[in-house]
Amino acid sequence: MNNPTHDLIIIGGGPAGYVAAERAGAKGLRVLLVEKQQLGGVCLNCGCIPSKALLYAAKRFYEATHGAAYGLHAVSVQFDFSRAQAHKSQTMDTLRKGIQGLMKKYKVDVISGSATIRPDRAVVVGDAVYTSANILLATGSSPARPPIPGSDLPHVVDSTGILALETLPKQLVIVGGGIIGCEFACCFGSLGVPVTVIEMLPEICPTVDPDIAKILRAELERKNVTFHTGARVAAITAESVEFTVDGKPHQAPADCVLVATGRKPNVRGLGLEALHVDFDDRGVRIDDHCATNVPGLWAAGDVTGKTWLAHAASRMAEVVIHAITGQPDRMRYDAIAGVVYTTPEVATVGLTEAQAKARGLPVRTGKLPMGISGRFLAEHAEGRGQVKVVAHAETGVLLGVHMIGGACSEMIFGAAAMIETECRVAEIADLVFPHPTASEVIREAVLAMK
């Protein structure tokens, strides 16, 4: 390639794209970052960050109005939805400015527009043409909408649209009981909105350990949420959602319907067909170094369909930069934690018991209620929560940790470190956890293994 304009061209400015740009710029590479909307991608602009801002506001409201066990008696507590939305927007704006500052610090060329890759591997943005030996696809994903009659009605929204609501719904129906659906169910249910969740599978959050998912469903049912599992949506009307359970028809009234049935990788309109890239609508296929089948073309994040987590996307971006600069590295997905930011929170890392058995691994499990922790019981009067651990029955290597209750999102990194370093049960038993903390239950669950 004669006189390339850059050492690396990145298409997409989300958690994969901007992290790759930052890491590459820090190593002295000439980087071009192309983003057609706003830096930060789905996570910052219409996903992780805005949803967590609203979830936190809803949690504070719920605690203020349900604090009798702790001596709190709410005389008059009102929720200002517009002020919560303003806080959400302010948080997003602050973080966008932070990313812009990082791009400037590391001398990353940032341009706005849609990029396509020509067969000669030149990247075209508008009338401009750029070249590089390395191109990173970090185009993310979009909400997937099933072909449900009535899904184009004005009161039907996706996970982006529901974040832009100006007023609270009177009755919310959520189609899909996965992580996104459950988080929004928790948010609006905690604010007093009656929520109905319609899930096709027998249990909610199918990627979560079934024991944990069952507890989560029970806890959300205490927050104005009604679940219909094993249900199929037939149609959406102006007043309700029609669905069937065991062949019997049902209706759920709604003035707002959230369709939360997953996401799809953004793989179209990039020119990948002409480049003979190995991809389909499930994503761009990559190896453990995030390399595609086309030399010099890399992919990271949701566009690969490998995982739908922002932190996984950022880690994949780091692996790409290490590969480009000759630093040995590879992706290891089993040690990447996932969180459901409901109340109570769910946090999980590694294999579930079923996944381990499906791999043919002999397993031992330990399971304890969070309520055995003095700290947890003091802060959660009803004591609901659980830790489940999975280990290899012969080697003792920790394979998975699955938790529900309290701030387990802030504890799961420790379990991730144990799995990443292949800790054994005997080694975990030697660790001293601080007391009183909820994290002590992880060690106790390991000691209780059978």
Active centre residues (catalytic): 435
The DSSP secondary structure of 158-182, one letter per residue, reads -TTGGGG-SS--SSEEEE--SHHHH
Q: Is 49 exposed, middle or buried (0-12, 13-18, 19+ CB in 10 A)?
A: buried
Quick check: 419 and 438 in contact, CB under 8 A? no
The β-bridge relationship of strands 231-236 and 240-245 is: antiparallel
* Token pair for 268: 């179209």
* Token pair for 251: 């209706």
The β-bridge relationship of strands 297-299 and 128-130 is: unpaired
- Rounded Cα–Cα distance for residues 276 and 281 (Å): 15
How far is it between the farthest Cα atoms of the chain?
A: 73
- Rounded Cα–Cα distance for residues 259 and 181 (Å): 8
Quick check: 7 and 24 in contact, CB under 8 A? yes
Secondary structure of the chain: what % helix, strand, coil (to 5)? 35, 25, 45
- Rounded Cα–Cα distance for residues 365 and 391 (Å): 6
Quick check: 86 and 6 in contact, CB under 8 A? no
Q: What one-letter code names the amino acid at 65?
A: T
DSSP state of 14: S
Residue 225 CA to its chain's centroid (Å):
21
Q: Which residue has the tokens 């982006």?
A: 160
Q: Which helix (H) or strand (E) holds 348?
A: strand 346-350
Quick check: 204 and 197 in contact, CB under 8 A? yes
- Rounded Cα–Cα distance for residues 240 and 156 (Å): 11
Instruction: Tell me how long the chain is.
Output: 450
